[in-house]
Each structure stands twice: as structure tokens, then as C-alpha cells.
Structure 1
Amino acid sequence: MTQTTLVTRSGSTITLPAETVESFRQQLRGPLLAPGEPGFDDAIRIWNGMVEKTPALVVQPTGTADVVAAVNFARENDLLVSVKGGGHNIGGTALADGGLTIDMSNLRGVIVDADRRQVTAQAGCKLGDVDRETQLFGLATPLGFISKTGIAGLTLGGGFGYLTRRFGWAVDNLLEVEIVTADGQVRRANSEENADLFWAIRGAGHNFGIVTSFTYRLHEVGPTVYGGLIAWPAARAEEVLATYRELTATASPELTVFQVLMRAPPAPFVPPEAHGERICAFAVCYTGDLDTVEDALTPIRALGDPVVDMLQPLPYAQLQSSLDDTEPTGHHYYWKTEFASELTPEFQATVAELAAECPIPGGQLVLAHIGGAINDRADDDGAIGNRDVRFVYGAAGMWEPDNPNAAEFRQWVKDAGTRLQSFSTGGNYINFQTAEDGEERVRATYGANYDRLLELKQTYDPDNVFRVNRNIHPQARAERP
């Protein structure tokens, strides 16, 4: 390897001699990759194809010692550094353009302690890895709803999915982490040991270090649940939206329904005459007693005459992966999302109007019902906050690379987001923020918890080593009343 030029944390460049890079390589058990080398392109492939970044170096740790070596190397040489788990973040924070990317994808171990109802998973795991192992015992923890998502990024930003209504955010079920902080130290953080760091990790963890393993609480779920997709023509939008509003106001925590307004895909389960037509769909998950499922679904069944009906008993792990193909890796994704505490007729009318005029063939207007267990905790129970939230909603654009209408599509999503923002509680799900969302957006997300996060950032990462994220800058000054 010849000398290597990298980007520093300040945005300038530094050229490291070949012997410096080689010395670093010798400290590692895992690969150190540079552009053009075998494995590099795979290492920097992420879900959102809109993000075009090329690190100067990629480390692929095989264990915590490699992570420590990489953090020390980045800090000592003032390098811009990012952390890649599943690479599924909308903002592309997995990659540091011109910097050092620490790719955790080789760390995929999962250990289930069924007797204690706990699971410990390494940071390179994806949701499907964890679900596969825990479902052997009929157990699960609240994670996301796309099995290809990495557990690390999802959890450190809060994490929600089909089980959130019953059991809370992913971080509400986090028991302990092993983390490498900016000083290169390996720490265990839980409610008793490094409790302040553990509090920060539970919602703003991207800012405080590299978590190498997560230990979660498990709950009895599955292995068979009831769910899938059911959809109606967009001409019935008013009726379907009204049913959704009433259903989510009374549904038991065992029932989670996400609403999606979209165009029907050309999939085998969609009648050919409906391909490309606008539809109102429900993604359903019922984890209660299957003998009571029809009672739980009565409002949905009462709508009648769906154009698609895939509701059925199925393995929980299968339901968790059932939407994977709707988000192909490499497509371009651009979202604008918000939190809401209620659904008003005015809000739903706006959603319906936006769905009817959406010019993006792969565009969606989404409402995810997450209210329930998250609302039973105090606002300062973890950095995640936003305990008044009952829905995540927004406009989601998706299109193939090189689409000639990409600029128009992106502008439409941005404008739709502006129209939808007036219905927001003021918070925002940090994992859905895009690269253009700045400090004020981050501050609004954490609300009253921001000041404490700022103090802890100054303690654990005063030089802002971990800044390729939705950043809490240690030199920032929180607004005060």
C-alpha cells in the first residue's frame, strides 16, 4: 500500500505514510481495505443508493480489540470516522467520505438465554439474525419491521416495530451494552454501571461510541402470529382512513397496524388489473391469542372487498421479513417524517390529498401506529424522549438510480413534508432524519433531554470523534427558556 490521503474531522486532508497505515494493519485481525482492493466495493455498499460516499479506508473488525485499534487510530490521526452496521440509515451515516469507515458486518454472533429471557447480539447483526435465533424459543424483542436493517443503528436511535405497542421502544428493552468510547476504552453500560452513558445510548447512542454488543429483554411472541397486507382501492380512501382512525383509538396493544397509501406493485399477490393503481393498504401484526384474532380484526374485515388480502397465520420471523422486497438495496430513498400524538380528520385529509397527487411511482404516505407502552414511561426515561407520541408518519420517496425525474421527486417529498409538519408534535424519529437535517432538527428531536445529552457528549466525546451521525456537537449551546 502506498501513502494514503484521508479527510480529517475538520474537513481538511492528511496524508499518512505507507508505514503508518501498515502499522495499523498489523494491529488488526480483520481486513483493512482501500479503494480498488477485493471486498472494498461490497464493504461500502449501503441501502440508500442516493448516498454517494467513498471512504479512504475501511476496517472490518473481527472483535472488540479491532474496534479499539480503529478508534485509537482515528483519534490519534484526527480522522473523520463513521460506523457501518447494517448500512440501512436513510441519511447514509454509515460512510465517511474520504475518511475511515469501521464496518461491523463481520460481528454477527447471537446468544439467547431463554431461561433469563435475554439475548445478546453483536453489532453487525441484522434484525433477521436476532429474530431467527430468539424465535427458536418463541421469544422476541421489539426491533424494526425490515429484516435487513442493522440492529445497531436502529437501537441507538430508539427503534420501533410491530412489537412497540406492547413492549416499547427497542431501547426500552435494552439491558446492557459493551461500548468502545472515543478514548479507546471498553466500557459496560447498564442501569447500574456507567448509568449516565447508558441513559444517553438509549436514543442518542450514535454520538457516544461504538457499541460492540447489545443485550435485550425478550418477551413471549410467536412463533406463529397473524398478519400480512390487506388493501383497498384509493377511491375508498376516506372510508379506509376513518376506519384506521377509529381502530387505532381502541386497538389492544397486541394489534399493530401500519397504514400505507401507495401504488400497487406488480407482484404476484396483486391482481393484474390493479398493478400501478393507487391503493390504501394496512400492514397488520397481531401477537395476541390467535383464537381472538377475528374479534380484533372486526373493523378491518368490516370494510369488505379488499383488492389484496394476505392476512393469515404465519411465523413471526416471516412477517418481519415480508416487506423486505418493497425496499430494494441501491434504489434512491428520500423521506420527510414527523411524530404525531393523534389523528384528526384534517390531518388524514391532507395525507389522502398528498397520496392522490404523488408523482412518484414508488412513493408512499405512511402512518405507523406505535402508541402504547412507550407512553407509559417518563419523558426522561432514556434519551429517546417523545413519550407523548402515538404515530410516526411521513412522505417516503423511492426511485431507481438515474431516474430523469429524480429532482422533481425529491422536491415533491420536501414540499409534502412541509405540508405535513404542521400536524407534528414537534419531535422527530432520529433514525429517519436525512443528511440535510441540521442541529436545530436534532435539538427539537430530543427536546428537554438535549441539555443533558450535551453535557454527556462533552464528557465522553469532547473532540467529537463520533460526528458522522445526527450530531450533538460538544461545543453547541442549548437553548434555554
Structure 2
Amino acid sequence: MEVLTAVAAWALSSACKSIPANHWLSSICPRGGNLTELSGRLSASAQVYYPGSDVFTEATNRWSSFDAPGVNVVVVPGIDDDVAQTVKYANENDIPYLAVTGGHGAIITTGRMQNGIEIWMDQLTGIEIAEDGASATVKGGTLSKAVTDALWAAGKQTVTGGCECTSLLGPGLGGGHGFLQGRHGLIADQFLSMDIVLANGSLVTIDKNTDIWWAMQGAGHNFGIVTSVTSKIYDIQYENWAYEMFVFTGDKVEGLYENINNYLLKNGSQPVEVINYGFFLNVPAIDPKPVTYFYILQEGATAVDSIYTQPFHDLGAVQSDAGTGSYLDLPAWTGLNNEAAPCQHTGLANTRFPLDIQVYDVPAMRQVYDLFTSAMEETPALNGSFFLIEGYSLQGVQAVASDSTAFPFRGDSLLVAPVISWEPAGPELAQQAADLGNELRRILHEATGRAEMHTYVNYAFGDETTKNWYGYEDWRQERLLELKNKYDPERKFSFYAPIA
């Protein structure tokens, strides 16, 4: 493989030296530099791929194809220093670059990276548990399922995202919600130290004694490429989990959200062991109009307590289901496992329009349901869309001081997000999709009565403001900007929800 890579790099470099700018090959040639030189800087285990190869296609496939980055070369680091060497080479030759793990970063700002290098973290994987059992070091490209499985086998667990095919660090650098956050806080709250390649190409270790540490916990995509992170881990407190799932038709919208407010959220005091989660979408086999799949998950139980479920049974679901298992089963129960739709890269455009809120405004939820329904009828090309409703417990999140990390919105109880999905078919349909997503979000935001709009950066569409992503306080914006100017003055890491 190394010999073939070197030959391919030499051949492409030779071709790139002699072609005019308008030649078809110019689209896969870097703006400057010599690719043989880049390959020569990398370790024997590193790999370099170009358009036309199967691995290049796999590496550049994304969950959302909309406004995707434009990649000329894929570098697959074999060791941490390969990341540093790639960044240095790219800087020297004025080539943009973007690190990729699970490929779920759907924010449209990443599309500003064109004719660049993708640093695919696929080989930088693995987990090492410390001898004292209090922490684990996770390589930067490790996906969530690998983390949960390895820790579970050792009698341990930590906060990860709910989806098996995203990385630990992708969500974590933006804060990172997860099923265990009520116990322990966000993914980012678990971080103890990390090895990171900064914008100047230096590979350094940082921790709470480094000024940039604050920014890495909520705005970390803007400051470097993390090659490994050491995080807190915990003994498994409860092996058992249980769920009940309900399917509700559109006539139950008011009752559903009233029940969630009254019996689960309880004015912001949802029990630490209880999570509610769901989505509404089109399932013609059940009903011509969108239906809502709604889950109640309970930790430490073999059946969800009827005090939580009975009001939803009384509401009258068209289908229901229940089961018991372990923490490892949660992704499959909720449709977030590797085999489920969110983990497939099928060429669809998938855009999210997130909003953090405190409580459901029932008339507003009726309004968004009706708008979603009519939009699907009027534009069938969008009928693969859905609307996420996520209600994680908050005790661990709110136990962390709000000013101690860059993650800004610890007081919000709910994360909602229309996910507008379509097969790309030109700018008119893309604009319809964006208009629909933004209008659904506008309705819910207006109903909160807030001037501020809080949008979870890991779900962001990309047209939001830095205040929407990183908080409205002047001191937050100023601190982020100061750190950005210090560590990335040339804005090398400004493709994912850029600070400025």
C-alpha cells in the first residue's frame, strides 16, 4: 500500500506541475506544493488517497451531501505526528484542510473548505483504560460504539453521544449531549487532557491549566485537531435499562406535549434516571399524516415505572412496545445504532435547525406539526424529513458551573430540531428545505418569548450567529475571540461554526 501510495502521489504531483488551471485535472490538484513531499513526511502506516479510488469515496462520503467540503486529497494518519505533518505541509502551501471522523458534521459552513485536504481519522482509533480505572484515553478517530463496548466490557462507562456511528470527539468538542448526562454532565465535562495539533502544526498536550482548555469544551472545532483525549470514566452503576415506546397520530399532538410537560419535565425537574426522546415523521403504513414515535427510557429498571408511562397509555397510542436490556441497547431501541438510517451515508441532503427550549409550548407544537404536514404534502421530495424531540436529564449538566466551559446553554431542558432531508435536485429544492427548517424553528422560538435563540452547535444548519452557537454574554464572545486570535490568527480552523 505504501509503495502504491507513493507512486500515485508522484504521478499526480508530476501531472499537476504541467497542467493549465482550466484543465479537468486541476480540480484534484492542490493549490501548491508537491504531493510526493507530503507523502515523504508521513509515517509508513499513513495512507494518501485521490479521487477515483474506493477508499477516497468512502472517506469523503458524508451523512449529508448538502454543501459538503470539496476534497482533493485524503490523508489517513497512522500516528499522531502524521496529523501535525499534514497541517504543516498544508500551511506551507496555502491548502485548506478539515479533519473528519464519523462524517456527521452537516453544518453548511464546512462547505467553505474547497480544493482541500481531508484528514480522515479512521486509523487513529483505540481506547486505553488507566490502571486506577478512573479515566481512559481515547484516540481521536474512535467512534462511540467502540468506546461504549470497550468500557462496558471492563465494567465501566462514560458519556457518549446516543448515535453509535459518530465519534466521541465530534460531539464532545461542541459540548455533547448523551444518555448519561444526567449522571455525569456533557461529553466535554469528562475531558481531563488532550493531545491536539494546533493551527501552527505543533502537537501539544493541554489540560485545565492551559488557557485554551475552556474553549475546547464547547467550541473546540475552532482550535485544532484532537488526536487523543483522556476522559473520566465510571463504574457501571446500573446495568439494567428499560424503555416504552408509543406511536401517536396527529390528533394526539396537544395531549402528548401536555403529558411530557406535566409528567416528565416537571418544571425542569425530570428525574435523573429518566430520558424522553422521540421524533415525528411520515409513515404512510400507519397513517397518511406524520406520526410521532415517543420513547421513555429509564435507568436502573427492568420496566419503566407506570407513574411515567400511564398518562401516555391513557392518551391512546396506535402502537406501543416495551423492553429491557442494558445501556448498550439504547441506540437500537431509539433508532441510532449502526444499522439505522442516521448511520447511513446514502447521498441525501440532511439539514438540521436546532433550538434549545425550556418547555413545550403546546399550541406552537400543533402549529409546527401542521406546517410540517402541509409541507410534506406540497413538496413530496421532502417527505423523508423528520422532527427530533430530545429531553435528557440535566442534573449532571447543571452541576458544572456555566462559566467554566465554552458550552453556553446549560439551563435549557429540551433540544428540538427539524431535520429536513431530500435527494439533491438543484437550488430551488434546497431553498425550500432551508425555508421550511427555519420557519419551523422560528415558530417555536417565537413561542418561547425569548429574545435569545439558543442553537446546539453540533446540530446547527450554518446560517445562525456566533451568539446562537456560543452564547450571548459579551464576555463569552470576547474570550473566544481572544483565544482564536492567539491560537489561530490565520483562521485555519474556521470551517465548522466559525467564531470569526
TM-score range relative to shorter protein: 0.7 to 0.9
1:108-257 to 2 correspondences below 5 Å: 108-113=125-130, 115-192=132-209, 194=210, 196-219=211-234, 220=236, 222-227=238-243, 229-246=245-262, 247-249=264-266, 250-257=269-276
> How far apart, CA to CA, are the structure 2 residues paired with 1:393 and 1:368?
6
Whether the aligned pair in 2 keeps the contact of 1:43 and 1:103 (CA below 8 Å) is yes
Instruction: Supply the AA of the counterpart residue of 1:36.
Output: G
Mean Cα deviation higher: 149-158 or 443-452: 443-452
Distance 2:197 2:406 in 1: 19
1:412 to 436, 439, 442: 436
Runs (5+) with no aligned partner, structure 2: 1-10, 22-28, 377-381
Taking a change above 3 Å as real, the CA distance of residues 447 and 231 of structure 1, as seen in their structure-2 partners, is farther
Is the Cα–Cα contact under 8 Å of residues 191 and 231 in structure 2 kept in the other structure? Answer: yes
Do 2:148 and 2:328's aligned partners in 1 also have CA atoms closer than 8 Å?
yes
Contact in 1 for aligned 2:356/2:412 (Cα 8 Å): yes
1:91 deviates by 1.5
| Counterpart residue type for residue 285 of structure 1 | L
Contact 2:352 2:418 in 1 (8 A): yes
Any idea what SS the aligned residue of 2:106 has?
coil
**Cross-structure match for 1:394:** 417
Q: Gapped runs of 5+ residues in structure 1? A: 7-12, 266-271, 474-481
Q: 2:404 aligns with which of 381, 403, 425?
A: 381
Contact 2:75–2:120, Cα closer than 8 Å, also in 1 = yes
Select 2:329's aligned residue among 309, 318, 327.
Answer: 318
Q: Match of 1:263?
A: 282
Q: 1:226-262, CA deviations, whole angstroms, 9 ceiling, x for partnerless residues?
A: 1263222221111111101112124311101023222
Name the SS for the 1:179 alignment partner.
Answer: strand
Paired AA for residue 311 in structure 1: A
What's the CA shift for 1:211?
0.3
| From 278, 285, 288, the counterpart of 2:290 | 278
Indicate yes or no: 2:455 matched with 1:428: yes
- Which has a greater percent of helix? 2
Q: Is the 8 A contact 1:162 1:285 kept in 2?
A: no
SS in 1 for 2:212: helix
Per the normalisation by structure 1, the TM-score is 0.86
Q: Identity, % of aligned pairs?
A: 22
Sort the Cα spacing of 1:279 and 1:442 in 2 relative to 1 into closer, same or farther, 3 A: closer
Q: Deviations over 1:188-247 (max 9, x none)?
A: 22223x2x2211100011111110112222232554311263222221111111101112
Distance 1:380 1:276 in 2: 47
User: In structure 1, which of residues 459, 466, 481 is the aligned counterpart of residue 493 of structure 2?
Assistant: 466
SS of the residue 1:49 aligns to: coil
Distance in 2, matches of 1:452 and 1:470, equals: 16
Using the size of structure 2 for normalisation, the TM-score is 0.83
Q: Distance in 2 between matches of 1:305 and 1:387?
A: 34
Pair 1:224–1:108, CA change in 2 (3 A): farther
User: Which residue does the alignment assign to 2:7?
Assistant: none
Any idea what SS the aligned residue of 1:384 has?
coil
1:259-294 CA-to-partner distances (Å, cap 9, x unmatched) read 3222237xxxxxx5x16542222133211x316732
Aligned alpha-carbon RMSD (Å): 2.7
Aligned pairs (5 A) from 1:349-364: 349-359=366-376, 360-364=382-386
Q: Name the count of aligned residue pairs.
A: 455
The Cα of 1:174 is off from its aligned counterpart by: 1.6
